[in-house]
Amino acid sequence: MTNTTTLEEHTLGQILDRTVERYPDNEILVYIDRDFRLTYREFSNLVDEVAKGLMALGIKKGEKVAVWATNIPFWVTLQFATAKIGAVLLTVNTNYKLAELDYLLKQSDTENLFIIDGFQDTDYVNTLYELVPELKTQQRGHLSSPSYPCLKRVCFLGQEKHRGMYSIPEIRALGTMVSDDQYLERQATLDCHDVVNMQYTSGTTGFPKGVMLTHYNIGNNGFWIGENQRFSENDRLCLPVPLFHCFGCVLGVLAAVTHGTAMVILEGFDPLLIMASVEQERCTALYGVPTMFIAVLDHPMFKKFDFSTLRTGIMAGSNCPVHVMEQVIEKMNMTDITICYGLTEASPVMTYTRINDDLRKRVETVGQALPHIEVKIIDIDTGETLAPGIQGEVCCRGYNVMKGYYNNPQATADAIDTKGWLHSGDLGIMDKDGYLSITGRHKDMIIRGGENIYPREIEEFLYRMDEIKDVQVAAVPSEKYGEEVGAFIVLKEGTLLDESDVMDFCRGKISRYKIPRYVTMVEGYPMTASGKIQKFKLSELATEIWPERR
């Protein structure tokens, strides 16, 4: 792996332009289910067309452009079109329901929103009309909503026309109104330390916070992720993970684009389509969370597909079971598969296994720090750096540390100390060679199949039920997903409630993966002497209450 002494100081637009210059005829985007293919040159032309269209709409430098869409081709196009005009791409979880979108639009001061028709059981268009009824009556581009005073424009990522929304063909046509000189003039005002991406993540002390990431943060992180897998212009990456997560848009898109690698993208997770994509496009790399790899390995048609071209990839998002890693190496030919660790606030990767590490290190640790990043373990109470082999909080410092949380200076100060160290909230042990093992969390976050779930957010939502006096949400161990959501409820006197009532209350209002899979009524909670609730004991209690967990 090349170990350059300096970091790249380029915007994402400059990174794309450089790759286009080197590999104009290489494919960048492939979708086998719709026979969609673009070369780097064709993609770059489309990005410029859309970017000019965004300028023609009136989108200014620094404005947020929220994208609520699955992994469609225009998602990646918008990632670079917004970057080229200095706008901030705001990624929206496709699982969001009405209450979650409402919160995000208000907290982020979003000026622009791009949507598709819907996903699974959520109709995005109708959800938006419910939240912003003014869309149906006001002139496009001149939206004035009392509930969302910053929101100016809504655009539909498709051919269809919806009242109050611009369509993609219209935006592309509008691009002709912006000259090349105006476009280049806008790009000349950009700096690699400008915020280019915002993603919402949470904590145990409040609702989701907007993580502000710069070109410098994610451009360099993407480069080193690609270097670590030895990506080149000859590689083809099968990418079935959501683009709204860093896993998709940084580990996937930016690792590929910095190396001229092709991306074979799936709009949604489908094990059969993953196997067909790998075989048909002769993919050399594959990404996924453990549950995705398990679904592929367990598929009844697994043996009918050819995985001989696979070499590397990433398994991440939640704890990677050793036996699954071993099967992926043996049965899918992924001899150079890697595991990484990080968090959105770290752009996201801070440590990474190397492809020449022995199997034990590759399956039992999350690797060493990436180049240009410092990682240490500290004592949670004193802040003192701990010796190898002692458990403490994982911290990192370097180019990858976020600019901060949007409009939340206190939370930023709590996460990043005065010496620039980002505190992860995760517990780990580092050996004498710098290999990190994650051993737990002192935050209460639940990780269900790669999705981060924050108990406080669900607790606050459940408090809306009249019958609930108190509720604590904690992780319930799960064989399939690693962890599931458990709700431990204290009822108000004289009221009754059962598991189905709680699930019905949540359905359609919060994301399906956040709805408690397990619900029980309790008299009280295990506490410390100082009165702090011990959620880890609730998780232990869950194994007794629900012994048959899947």
What integer is the mean pLDDT of 331-338?
Answer: 96
Beta bridge partners of 342: 349
Q: Which residue has the tokens 């074979």?
A: 264
- Comparing CA positions, the residue from 349, 375, 395 lying closest to residue 254 is 349
Please spell the DSSP secondary structure of 461-512, one letter per residue: HHTTSTTEEEEEEEEEEETTTEEEEEEEEEEPTT----HHHHHHHHTTTS-G
Confidence class for position 35, pLDDT limits 50, 70, 90: confident
Question: What is the rounded end-to-end Cα distance, in angstroms, of the chain?
Answer: 41
Interval 119-173: pLDDT, tens? 999 999 999 999 999 999 999 989 999 999 999 999 999 888 999 999 999 999 9
What integer is the mean pLDDT of 373-387?
Answer: 95
CATH number of the domain located at residue range(s) 12-21+37-214 in this protein:
3.40.50.980
CA distance linking residue 102 with residue 297, whole number of Å: 39
Alpha-helical segments (H) within 156-203: 168-174, 180-188
Domain spanning 339-441, CATH class: mainly beta
Interval 436-484: pLDDT, tens? 998 766 667 788 888 888 787 898 789 889 999 888 899 998 888 889 9
What integer is the mean pLDDT of 11-33?
Answer: 98
Assign 441 to helix, strand or coil.
strand
Residue 6 has pLDDT above 70, yes or no: yes
488 and 472 Cβ atoms separated by less than 8 Å: yes
Sign of CA dihedral 124, 130, 135, 136: positive
Q: What is the pLDDT of residue 364?
A: 83
CA distance linking residue 194 with residue 215, whole number of Å: 7
Residue 396 has pLDDT above 60, yes or no: yes
CATH 3.40.50.980 residue spans of the chain: 12-21+37-214
Q: What is the pLDDT of residue 206?
A: 56
Residue 260 has pLDDT above 50, yes or no: yes
Residue 500 has pLDDT above 90, yes or no: yes
pTM: 0.85
CATH number of the domain located at residue range(s) 446-545 in this protein:
3.30.300.30
Q: What is the pLDDT of residue 441?
A: 66
Pair of tokens at residue 432: 């004498």
What integer is the mean pLDDT of 290-300?
Answer: 90
Residue 276 has pLDDT above 90, yes or no: yes
CATH 2.30.38.10 residue spans of the chain: 339-441
